[in-house]
Amino acid sequence: MPAHLVLEAAGQTRAIMRRVRQLLETVGCSEKSIVRMRIYVIDMARDSRQIQLAMTQWLNESVEVGGMKPGITIVEVRRLSSEPVLLEVEVDAVSL
């Protein structure tokens, strides 16, 4: 397990969104460019509340008041790429 990997869903969500921010910045975009997100989670009952709280916090920090927020879908799946990964996030963004 990589040393930087966090073992709880809220921490993994925050780490993923920091990485998304970095990737968007490398192509001259920001979180405001995100139009849709898909979150895949292996245990919705256990982790969805933590993920929702972390995403709400991130959206409140990243999207200006009155701005458009991306559509977000959370899907429970049987397995992800590797343990102890609790969630994976796909992001669609547009550059205007």
Q: What angle in degrees, to the nearest 10, is found between the helix axes of 9-26 and 44-62?
A: 40
pLDDT digits over 55-68, tens only? 888 888 776 655 67
- Sorted by where each starts, the structural domains of the chain and their CATH numbers stand as 9-93 (3.30.1330.40)
Q: What is the pLDDT of residue 61?
A: 79
Q: What is the pLDDT of residue 66?
A: 59
Residues in the chain: 96
Which pTM value belongs to this model?
0.83
Q: What is the pLDDT of residue 16?
A: 93
Q: What is the pLDDT of residue 33?
A: 87
3-class SS string, 30-77: CHHHEEEEEEEECCHHHHHHHHHHHHHHHHHHHCCCCCCCCEEEEEEC
Using alpha carbons, list the distances in angstroms from residue 35 to 27, 41, 90: 16, 20, 11
Q: What is the pLDDT of residue 3?
A: 40
